[in-house]
Each structure stands twice: as C-alpha cells, then as structure tokens.
Structure 1
Amino acid sequence: MFDSSVTQRAPMSFSDAIANAAPAVVNIYSTGYDNRPLLYRRQPVERTSLGSGVIMTAGGHILTCYHVIKDAEYINVILQDGRVLDAQLVGQDPHTDLAVLKVTEENLPVIPQTEIPDTRVGDIVLAIGNPYNLGQTITQGVVSATGRAGLSNYVSSANYADFIQMDAVLNKGNSGGALVDSNGTLVGINNANFKTLDNNRRIKDVAGIFFSVPYALAKRVMDDIVAHGRVIRGYLGISGSEFIDQPGILVTAVDPKGPAAAAGIRANDIIMKIDGNAIESAFKTLDLVAETQPGSELTFELRRDEQVLKTQVTITELGSNG
C-alpha cells in the first residue's frame, strides 16, 4: 500500500537545461538544383536538404554543418516559436564541415555559451535537433571521448579522433544541431554518426557512436568566417612524426613549394624548438602553426646530423601554395 507520508524525491530531469538551450536550436531547410541527364538534354531537378542550426549571436549568426547547406540556392530557418526566416550564407569551412548563416530578425534566442567548456569523458550530454523532420527532438547520452580543439587536425575529412564522441543518438536532420551539457550550455555542434563498410563494401552506420565538433573550435571557425569570410590557417609545409623516447619532431617530407622548403628545412631534420619553446608534441606544433597569422615569422631550431641550426620561417596561408 502506498504511504503518502513518505517524502518522494523529485525525479531527475533536464527540463531546465532544455528550456535554456532549445529555443536557440533551429530547423534548416535548404533547396538546390541538380542537373541530371534526361535523354539528350539535362533537366534541373530540385533537391532539398534537412538539418539543424544553432543561434550563436543576438545579431543573427547561426552555426550549422556545411553539408546541410552545400550548393543551396535558398535557405530557410524555422525557429521553435514558429518564425520562418530567410538565411544568407556568410561562409563555410569544409575542413570542419561547418558553415555560418545570417538572419535579420529581432529578439532572437541565443544559446548559452561559456568560453572553454570543460567537457570530460563521462559527462552527460543532450543532442537537440530535428531528426527526419519530426520536429525538435532531444536525445541523451554520455561523452565517450573528447576531441582536441586545434585547427590543424581539421584539414582532412572525417578525422573522427578529434571530435567529441558520444552515444546521444543523431539521425538525418540532427546535423548542425546543438550538443549541450546538463545545464544547457553549448559544448559542440552535432555532425555525424560513425560509418564503416560491411562485407559487401557498402557503407553502413554504426550504432552508438556519434560525433560533435567541439565548441571551442566551432566558435573559432565562426569568428574567422564572420571577420574574414573564411577560416585562415597558417601553413608550414611539412609532414612529421614524433619520437617515443626523445623530444622533437622528425621531418619526414617537405612540400617543395611550401614555406619550410623556402627556409631550408629538409626531410630528416629534427625540429627541436619554435620561437624558443621546446617541442612537446606534433599535434601542438601543428596547432601552433595553424593558428599563426600568415605572414608572421617563426624561429625554428633544428638538429641536422650533429649540427644545431636556426632558421626563420615565414608562415603562409593554407591553400595558397599552389
């Protein structure tokens, strides 16, 4: 028999977190046209894409995934209060699969943000988006692995090791939506689920493994796009590998048209210091270069055979070296 005198604990709920974050997560509908062959002529065929986005500023800047709006002619944004707005593309960054849109409207809800979220493995996270156009939907999971937020690792496609990995379910339409913590603070922009090949070499989704671009990186990309129309990454022009038992980076290849080659850096050189700072890891070194303003000079200290050399390298912009 139920004893009404026993005090009942309130059930655990994330409703406050959702109330804080969800109004700033929008539905995105984009329309484009594909020219498909039809007998002896090409017939334009309308193509629509479904996704989600996150209102980042009161001025109307929205973060979403690049693949959601790729090649779109028209982009519509629908807020949770029912407002339908036309959106303009400010810029995109295919390396991170992010894009920035702009809407002109007053009284926009802005998602809660903190400068550097302390996202840890085991944290509870909530994914907010519009899967299969069902309307705004919330899924819940835990962080399985945390990604680094450096620009350098996002210069190749599907580098999942650098994303936030979680088991909060993402489906078609969730791309570009918000990943928030249990307080409703943005920690990432939802991107994709893990895919692999089956025995017949067909692509298939893997259950329980989903990815989100870390907030710190997404915000940095957005700020660059808003300020410059693109993401500016420094470029050195080397490939390298770390040593197991000693500091430094072994240069394994050099782009002959890159700034490293122009400064005299060769394959088999060992980079020991940059601007007087000892090399801790290849990742941190590449991030330092990627985040260096093109045109800036960095002093590299190298070991070549038994010699210690110094050289000035003028960093260029990624993508500008032919």
Structure 2
Amino acid sequence: MKKNRKFIISGILLLLIGVTIGLVISSKFDFQTKGFSEDYQISKESQELLSKIGNAMAEVIQAVRPSVVNIYTTKKIKRQGIPFPFNDPFFRRFFDDEFGGLFNRPKEFTQTALGSGVIVDPSGYILTNYHVIKGADEIKVKLYDKKVFDGTLVGYDAKTDIAVIKIKSNGLRAIKWGDSDKLKVGETVIAIGNPYGLNLTVTRGIVSATGRANVGIADYEDFIQTDAAINPGNSGGPLVNVSGELVGINTAIFSTTGGYQGIGFAIPSNMAKVVMDSLIKNKKVIRGWLGVTVQDLDIEMAKTSGLKEIKGAVVTDIQDGSPAEKAGLMRKDIIISFNGKEVEDAAHLRNLVVSTPPGKTVNMEIIRGGKRYTITATIGELGAEQMVSESESVLAGIYVEDLTSKIRSQLHIPKKINGVIISSIDPDSPADGLLMRGDVIMEINNEKINSVKDFVRVSKKVKNEAIIWFFRDGRVSYITLKVGQ
C-alpha cells in the first residue's frame, strides 16, 4: 500500500509540474504573438502606396486587354504511306486491305497551333508573328468579347518574323503605339497573350536589355529582352509600357526546358510598324539600302580612332554604284551615328538602314583617320534582293541578288557562269533543303536567268513545277521542284 501511495503521489507531482510548464509556455507564446502583431503591423501609408500601384497596373491592363486576340490556325499535312516490302500484286491484293491501306497511300491529318495577336487598327488589322500563321490553311481570330472571325493574311515578312492579318469587323479597340526607341533598361513592361491556350494571361517584368541581335531567331534582329514571363502561345501578343502603349511584339523565349526561364524577346514596336505599314500598302516590305559591308568595332580600333566607347560599325567593303560609294564612304571608316541616332554595332546599323525609306537623305557621322566627318547619303531601295511573292508558286520564299564581279571573286565563280545568286531561303519554301544560299540559278524551265529581273519575270509564270539548273561547288546540276514534294 505504501508503495502504491508513493507512485500515486509521484504521478500527481509530475502532472502538476507539466501543467505549470504548459501554462508558462502558453503565456510566453501568447505574449510573443501579441508583441508580433503590435510591432509588425503594415502602415497605412504602405498599404495605400501598394494599393495605388496595384490599381494603376489594373487600369493599364483593362485598357489594353480588349486589343489582344487569340489566333488559332490549322493546316493539312500530307505524309507518304509506308512502302511495300515486296513490289508484288499478291501482297498488294491480300495484305494492303488488311492494314487499312497503310502501305503506299498518302496520309493526311490536320495540325493545329495557337498564338496571340494585337489589334492595331479599328478596321480589323491585326499584328502578329509570322511563325504563328506560317503555312496555315485556316486562321481563326477570337476577340476579347469571345466573338470569332475568319482571318485573312495580308502579308508577312519572314526576315523580321512579322505578319499582318485582317478580319471583317469595324469599331474595334486598337492599341496605342509607343516609341520603342525611348525604352530604358529597368523600365516596367507588361506582356499579354494566351500562353498554353490560357486566355488573356498577364505577366509583368522589366526591360532587361535593348538592341539584342545575333540571337538566331530572325534575319533582322533588334530585340527587346524582358523578364516578363513569355511562354508558348504568347507569340504575337503585345508588350506594353505603363502607359498602355505598344512597345513590342512578344516573339520568343530563351529556354533549355521549353518553358519560361526569365529571358524573353520582343520585336520593337518601331520596327514592327515600319514592316506592317509596308505590308499593308505594298503587299511586300520595301527596305532601305546603303551598299556597305560592316563589322563590329573592337577595343583596339576604338583606341586608335580616339573613341572612348566601343560603339560604331567599321566599313569593310563598299558596293559599286551604291549610295555609300556616291556619298564618299571609304573602307575603314567608322560610322558612329546614322540619321541622328547613335550606332551601337554593325547589326544596329543594318537595322537602321533597312528601316529607312528609300529616297530619304540622311546624315552619317564617321571617324576617318582619327577625325570626325559628316557625310550625307540618299538611301536606295534594297531592290537587288528579291523574293517571289506568289505563295502558290513553287519558287516562293527564294531570295536572290545579281551576280556581281565582286561576288564572283569572293565565291570563286567562273566567268562562264551567268545567273543570280541565292542570298537566303525561307524555311517553308519548297526549295528549302534542296537549294541553298550561294547557289547560282542559271536556268528555270528552259529560260536563261541573267538578272534578278529575269528571275522575277520567269518565276511569275511558274506555279507547281520547275526544273532549275544551278551552279554549286564547281559543278552545274539540276533539280525538279514540285509543290508538296
């Protein structure tokens, strides 16, 4: 009994000790909690400031969203059937039907894609990326109010990845144009689009860099880099500033996973507008031409020329009879400004030139022999480089230029070879993978090609098939191009 009493008394004491400790801890925790709530309250001023910022962003987004559209495209893809292992009528008769016509019969299926676009005119013009509508047989446009329209392709420019489509509607909410040249690194921007088909998604970030070139996305690059989240489906949507103005067209992401990693690219609005206006007015892009070959300035050249910054483009070659030659430009000249704008590098100068209307007179500031000079040039049209505009032609997407003596010398092309040289080929051209840059087209369907004019004239008559004789790597060959091959 005594032992039992001892155990009971010990248990009661332990229980009392536990309750006491619990009360102390509870009291202390309650004290700390009260202290936290009293010491770390968000001030009224901070709440008002954050509320104002949030409301301001909401206003910008509400103003812009009605100008953003969904773009859905479809195209039919034909794929050849699997060839028979044995070319025997017996196998064809008894086995082809068993496999549902699998062998030797072309298969056709529909491929769908989605992207974004932005209304730039109340009458129905919409700006987007070329890669969004590339090869599409059908384009559908869904507006902010859920209405769906058929889209018609007005024109495209593969070299800048810009396309213009139009819908039959009036009184649409067109976005306001902004000046992308005024963008500063660190400035807040907003990306709107339809990533992964999620309608009208908004992301916010800053301008990480401007003038990004040599990214490998397009031929003419002057990208705005941003950390605003851009994902598949955002392509063609607007990048806007805090005033709700269009400053860029969301185009691509830099990613090792296929998803957002903090680096997105947008085509500057100023470049997009020049291309868009030309496509609407001329059904093609008319570009300026200076006629120089340039490369980036390095630190040694900058020092010897007395330049404090490594900015500018060094002239390495000048085309005969070009605006540059007529203006008096010389090899080794360093172009540091063009038409009042500071030249960052060779790619920047190239973009400035092609964006200048032909016939316009511009001033260029150059460094020659350590001294500064101002040279005046009248910009020409980039007419030496042509592309077949008829999309149904088997020659569509081939860019060529005249074969000059300088090009002959550089590429070691014999004098007996006459024709036009291919400068580039669009990825969706029937000639892609068969012809290549540097090939000299000599003859098309038994007609001699001696100039760009000959090429354009003959190509307009070609539709579904063309036999092309060309020179490559020291030998003359021929291929037959067919639509859908």
TM-score of the superposition, structure 2-length normalised?
Answer: 0.54
Aligned residue number for residue 20 of structure 1 = 63
- Per-residue CA distance 1:94-143 (angstroms, 9 max, x = gap): 11111011111122111132355632111111111011112111111111
Q: CA deviation at 1:83?
A: 0.8
Q: Provide closer, same or farther for how the CA distance between residues 231 and 244 of structure 1 changes in structure 2, counting only shifts above 3 A.
A: same
The answer to whether the Cα contact below 8 Å between 1:160 and 1:211 also exists between their aligned partners in 2 is: no
Q: Separation in 1 of the partners of 2:291 and 2:237?
A: 34
The answer to whether the Cα contact below 8 Å between 1:263 and 1:311 also exists between their aligned partners in 2 is: no
Please give the root-mean-square deviation of Cα atoms over the aligned residues, in Å: 4.0
Percent identity (aligned):
40
Q: Separation in 2 of the partners of 1:263 and 1:255?
A: 10
Q: Separation in 2 of the partners of 1:315 and 1:161?
A: 21
Asked if 1:137 corresponds to 2:195, the answer is: no
Larger Rg: 2
Q: Separation in 1 of the partners of 2:181 and 2:377?
A: 36
Amino acid across the alignment from 1:244: A
From 279, 296, 302, the equivalent of 1:244 is: 302
Q: Separation in 1 of the partners of 2:328 and 2:351?
A: 19
Asked if 1:269 corresponds to 2:331, the answer is: yes
Q: CA deviation at 1:160?
A: 9.6
After TM superposition, the structure 1 stretch with the greater mean CA deviation from structure 2, 35-44 or 55-64, is 35-44
> What's the secondary structure of 1:21's corresponding residue?
helix
The answer to whether the Cα contact below 8 Å between 1:239 and 1:251 also exists between their aligned partners in 2 is: yes
Asked if 1:235 corresponds to 2:289, the answer is: yes
From 122, 139, 142, the equivalent of 2:186 is: 122
Q: Provide closer, same or farther for how the CA distance between residues 313 and 217 of structure 1 changes in structure 2, counting only shifts above 3 A.
A: closer
> What's the secondary structure of 1:38's corresponding residue?
coil
Q: CA deviation at 1:43?
A: 2.2
The within-5 A match list for 1:1-322 is 8-9=47-48, 11=51, 12-13=53-54, 14-39=57-82, 40-115=104-179, 118-147=182-211, 157-158=217-218, 162-195=222-255, 207-241=261-295, 242=297, 243-245=301-303, 246=305, 250-253=314-317, 259=322, 269-271=331-333, 281=343, 283=346, 285-287=349-351, 289-294=353-358, 315-317=380-382, 319-320=385-386, 321-322=401-402
The answer to whether the Cα contact below 8 Å between 2:75 and 2:138 also exists between their aligned partners in 1 is: yes
Structure 2 unaligned regions, length at least 5: 1-36, 83-103, 370-374, 387-400, 403-485
The answer to whether the Cα contact below 8 Å between 2:319 and 2:325 also exists between their aligned partners in 1 is: no
After TM superposition, the structure 1 stretch with the greater mean CA deviation from structure 2, 133-142 or 245-254, is 245-254
Q: Provide closer, same or farther for how the CA distance between residues 289 and 168 of structure 1 changes in structure 2, counting only shifts above 3 A.
A: closer
> What's the secondary structure of 1:179's corresponding residue?
strand
Larger RCO: Structure 1 or Structure 2 (Cα < 8 Å, ≥ 6 residues apart)? 1
Name the one with the larger strand percent.
1
Q: Provide closer, same or farther for how the CA distance between residues 302 and 32 of structure 1 changes in structure 2, counting only shifts above 3 A.
A: same
Q: Separation in 1 of the partners of 2:198 and 2:222?
A: 30
Q: Separation in 1 of the partners of 2:180 and 2:340?
A: 25
Q: Separation in 2 of the partners of 1:206 and 1:114?
A: 26
Q: CA deviation at 1:295?
A: 6.6
After TM superposition, the structure 1 stretch with the greater mean CA deviation from structure 2, 125-134 or 227-236, is 227-236
> What's the secondary structure of 2:159's corresponding residue?
coil
Q: Provide closer, same or farther for how the CA distance between residues 114 and 259 of structure 1 changes in structure 2, counting only shifts above 3 A.
A: same
TM-score of the superposition, structure 1-length normalised?
Answer: 0.78
Q: Separation in 1 of the partners of 2:360 and 2:253?
A: 38
Q: Separation in 1 of the partners of 2:316 and 2:261?
A: 37
Q: CA deviation at 1:215?
A: 1.2
After TM superposition, the structure 1 stretch with the greater mean CA deviation from structure 2, 312-321 or 132-141, is 312-321
The answer to whether the Cα contact below 8 Å between 1:254 and 1:260 also exists between their aligned partners in 2 is: no
The answer to whether the Cα contact below 8 Å between 2:70 and 2:117 also exists between their aligned partners in 1 is: yes
Q: Separation in 2 of the partners of 1:37 and 1:69?
A: 24
Q: CA deviation at 1:236?
A: 3.7
The answer to whether the Cα contact below 8 Å between 1:144 and 1:165 also exists between their aligned partners in 2 is: yes
Q: Separation in 2 of the partners of 1:155 and 1:194?
A: 9
Q: Separation in 1 of the partners of 2:253 and 2:261?
A: 8
